[in-house]
Amino acid sequence: MNEKLSPLAMASAGQAPEVTVSRDIIRRGLIIAPLIMVIAGVIWGLTGAWSAGLGLALVLMNFGLAAALISWAAPISLALMMGVTLFGFLLRLGLISLAVFLVRDVSWVSLPALGITIIVTHLGLLFWEMRFIAASLAFPGLRPNAQEYPSSSAAETP
Amino acid sequence: MEAIARLVSAEMTPAELKNNAAAASAGYAYGLAAIGPGIGIGYLVGKSVEAMARQPEAAGMVRTTMFLGIAFTEALALIGFVVFILLKFA
């Protein structure tokens, strides 16, 4: 096997697009947090509102931790990045489980509200973020704003 | 062990049996729901590492796609976890 092409000997230095993406997801999550808490409050009452806030905080922590682990390991080694990603999956599931187990008997937590908020906000934020992702070599991570590159947007117009 | 001994000797009430079955099912649901995403994330990251090793200049794009793929795959595990907490505690 060619040593130069071995993932064990390679690293992915440079930009960390997952940090940019997760920061954008967290920003959007914080923007819609009051709306989600109000909706959950209307459906489940005050306990639902607090539970929705907790669920959203867990989801945002999950995104942030995933991005932090990958961006830490990728510049060291691609093999380490793979290991960190897989064990990070276990770690993050464990942390979410621990957080839910710790509050399961607390009076201000509604478990259905917490569970549904976790699923809906996780998927909703991901689908929302996909609108702003750039799948190009020039802009890994997020698409540039039109204000930042006015010439490229002007070039597209006939 | 005591629960198994009581189950064998048929000393459990139907309600206890139902509770035990629900607890066991919840555990199986969570465990099985975590296996699929585990395999999926392993496959996804493995292929991404291969892509980055072959084309280092595309690493940024690959990492972006990989991060989103991990998050989408992980949603399956979260759904299994929510089903678990609803079966077990709600």
Per-residue pLDDT tens digits for A61-108: 999 999 999 999 988 988 899 999 999 999 999 999 999 989 988 888
Structure tokens at A142: 């997020």
Other Cβ atoms closer than 10 A to A128: 15
- Sort out which chain A residues have CB atoms less than 8 A from B42's CB and list them: 82, 86
Chain A residues touching B86 at Cβ < 8 A: 111-112, 115
DSSP run (H or E) holding A141:
strand A141-142
Which residues face A39 on adjacent strands? none
Contacts across the A-B interface (CB distance below 8 Å): 126
At B37, the pLDDT band (50, 70, 90 cuts) reads: very high
Q: Do A15 and B85 touch (CB under 8 A)?
A: no
| pLDDT bracket for residue A149 (50, 70, 90) | low
- Model confidence at A158, pLDDT cuts 50, 70, 90, reads very low
pLDDT at B6 over 80: no
What average pLDDT score do residues B8-30 get?
80
A106: left (phi over 0), alpha (psi -120 to 50) or beta: beta
Nearest to A140 among B60, B78, B82 (CB): B60
Q: Quick check: A127 and A68 in contact, CB under 8 A?
A: no
What's this model's pTM, rounded to 2 decimal places?
0.83
Interface of A with B in 90-149 (CB under 8 A): 90, 92-93, 96-97, 100, 104, 111-112, 114-116, 118-119, 122-123, 126, 129-130, 133-137, 140-141
Mean pLDDT computed over every residue of chain B: 85
Q: What's the total number of domains in chain B?
A: 1
Domain hosting B39: range is 2-88
Which residue did the predictor score with more confidence, A12 or B72? B72
Closest by alpha carbon to A75, among A140, A12, A7? A12
Other C-beta atoms lying within 10 Å of the C-beta of residue A98: 10
- The residue type of A40 is A
* Bigger pLDDT: A47 vs A145: A47
Q: A7 or B63: whose pLDDT is higher?
A: B63
Contact in structure between A114 and A54 (CB atoms under 8 Å): yes
Say yes or no for a CB contact (<8 Å) between A126 and B75: yes
